[in-house]
A and B are shown apart, each in its own frame.
Chain A
Amino acid sequence: MLPNRSGHFGPFGGRFVPETLMPALHELEEAYRRLKRDSAFRKELNWYLREYAGRPTPLYPAKRLSEALGGHLKIYLKREDLLHTGAHKINNTLGQVLLAKRMGKRRIIAETGAGQHGVATATAAALLGLECVVYMGAKDTVRQAMNVFRMELLGAKVVPVYSGTQTLKDAINEAIRDWVTNVETTFYVIGSVVGPHPYPMMVRDFQSVIGRETRRQILKLEGRLPDMVIACVGGGSNAMGMFYPFVRDQVVKLVGVEAAGEGLDSDKHSATLSVGEPGVLHGMMTYLLQDKVGQIKGAHSIAPGLDYPGVGPEHAFLKEVGRADYVAVDDEEALSAFRLLSETEGIIPALESAHAVAYIVKIADRLPKGSIVVVNLSGRGDKDVAAVKEYLDSRSEK
């Protein structure tokens, strides 16, 4: 069972944080291990997931998409986009905020990039009546002004972060600084399978509901396991949640799709596992986008949620041992997939999820007839419609 007791997945993971936080991480780990086995806690979480968030989500056979790609595949979409707040993020925030409440913490903090995790955290905090502060890169607060307003509507305070690149990685730094300062009263809700142990494990566990449902649903629908499961990877929480229940099923090929942005040789991408190198950031040993000296580089993707120069340590491990493959598709491929899915299925995917769709578009021809493929549709695209329009307009002007 991974991680091991010290929070390592092979050489990855761990707890590279200031000493002030170590006792808090021990406390959190202990509380989590206890509540994980507590049937009342699990029952409460499941109740909220069902009655509030809208689980289980459908595993939908995308027939017209399959036809458009040659008709030889059975492509299923795991519809996390149908959840409350529009993405898988709520699975995790409900779990962590419930945990915070059980631990007697009064104040919730979170980081957010595009704002999806911030909104999901503010939602859970409003639902459970806790104070909520969200750190967001100053540049992102401008790019994602609507999400800032959403969080404020939900009663959260949004703090713009002006340091460093003024994006997600700096928002995480600032959230950690807040946590170091207010560690007694505050619970830090991390939005992905990243950060110091026990976060990568805990977020994976909360997101694993995706893979567990999928496994049960596909067995019922097809009587067998899928040949391939595809999910996009930024920090990697939707992918880890989807992969984890299939890790022991060696027949199921696991594919994580990173953002190649404007190209892997362009320096404007977020393909951490594809071209990054191991190092330490945000409390974990993992693959990072960094320069030769070890300074962390900025990341880029048309999908704001993939825009992160690190990746969950368990993904680094799955890559290292060869259990999962990590590939990258670029902005253009993601955009075409965004349109294709909208036109063939009437589903506008989040730009993040469009990367996963783009990969099946890319390799459909190479897969044998009758292959069953599950694509994790981690979020819906309403949030991206304006940005996509702007992008397409600016391109047609050129």
Chain B
Amino acid sequence: MNKTSGAQKVRKAIETANQEGRAALIPYICAWDPDIETTRGLLWALAEAGASVVELGFPFSDPLADGPTIQAATQRALRHQPSLEAYLEFVASLYDEGYPLPIVIMGYYNPFYRYGLKRFVEEAQAAGLCGAIIPDLPLEEARPWLRESKRRGLASIMLAAPTTPPERLRRIAEASTGFLYYVSVAGITGARDRLPEDLVLRLDLAREVSPVPVAVGFGIAKPEQVRMLAPHAEAIVVGSALVKIVEKEGRKSPRTIKNFLQNLVSAAERR
């Protein structure tokens, strides 16, 4: 039971990349988009391309933090009527195949609440899932979740935003395990041409107060952006840009995804 915890695995994967002289890449894809076997192929492609941790979305009917790209992915995925039970079975099957990367679930709170937090973290640990990101669960409401997830060693990855005041940022970082997810812009998920000018500065401040690695996400899609951010964050999350490829190429997307992510991984080298 007391092997390396999920939170430790996540942190270690990020630190390994950092020791190798680059920011860790954390790709996001939505499970069941367009079907679960493609998801399996995509996860392997991401591992082969050099990702450090994978964020695997659980689709929800009302994804209010997401932009059009991930909303559309959610709609495609929901046609398969996914359940958390099936999600965890899928994760367990990947680890049975020897999947090398820590997987964290990204999902809205209601399905977890409905499943039962205690039941979820127990079964998640048994399946090998390493952590969770719940974008509609801010610090004030997170206590029951944090208690359960910490008991099972899952990474509870909290989000901080550009609007978060410094003192609050510190408290959020201290509650996080695995890493802290720093949202690059006030807004929803989705690729953007430009990131805010003061982002680098704000990331440096976040890293000063955070006891865990800081990952930056939202709007990051291009190698130039990754190159610019790599020295200022321990990890970089890329989501909508990948989901767009899946949207376009469907079952044939794993190959393109692998090339796309490889480019980002090499852009993440801190020269």
Contacts and interface: CB of A to CB of B under 8 A. Distances in A.
Interface size class of B (residues with CB under 8 A): 35 or more
B172 A290 contact: no
B42 interface: no
Interface string A169-190: 1100100110011111000000
With most chain A CB atoms within 10 A of its CB, the pick from B68, B139, B163, B164 is B163
A24 interface: yes
Interface stretch (A74-82, A99-107, A251-259, A291-299): A291-299
A280 interface: yes
A296 B110 contact: yes
A296 B137 CA distance: 17
Contact of A294 (B68, B75, B114): B114
A64 B188 CA distance: 55
B110 to A, nearest CB: 5
A188 B162 CA distance: 19
A223 interface: no
A176 B67 CA distance: 11
Interface string B163-186: 111001000100000000001001
B267 to A, nearest CB: 27
B115 A294 contact: yes
Contacts of A292: 114
Interface stretch (A12-20, A209-217, A314-322, A365-373): A12-20
With most chain B CB atoms within 10 A of its CB, the pick from A14, A17, A22, A279 is A22
Nearest to B134: A16
B99 interface: no
With most chain A CB atoms within 10 A of its CB, the pick from B64, B172, B188 is B64
Given A14-B141, A19-B138, A177-B67, A293 B114 contact: yes
Interface size class of A (residues with CB under 8 A): 35 or more
A173 B136 contact: no
B136 A18 contact: yes
Interface in A146-197: 163-164, 169-170, 173, 176-177, 180-184
A280 B138 contact: no
Contact of B138 (A22, A169, A294): A22
A280 B187 CA distance: 21
B195 interface: no
A117 B114 CA distance: 31
B61 A296 contact: yes
Given A22-B139, A23-B163, A295-B111, 4 more contacts: A16-B109, A20-B161, A183-B186, A277-B114
**10 A-B pairs with least C-beta separation:** A294-B114, A294-B111, A20-B161, A181-B187, A295-B61, A173-B64, A294-B110, A19-B161, A296-B61, A19-B159
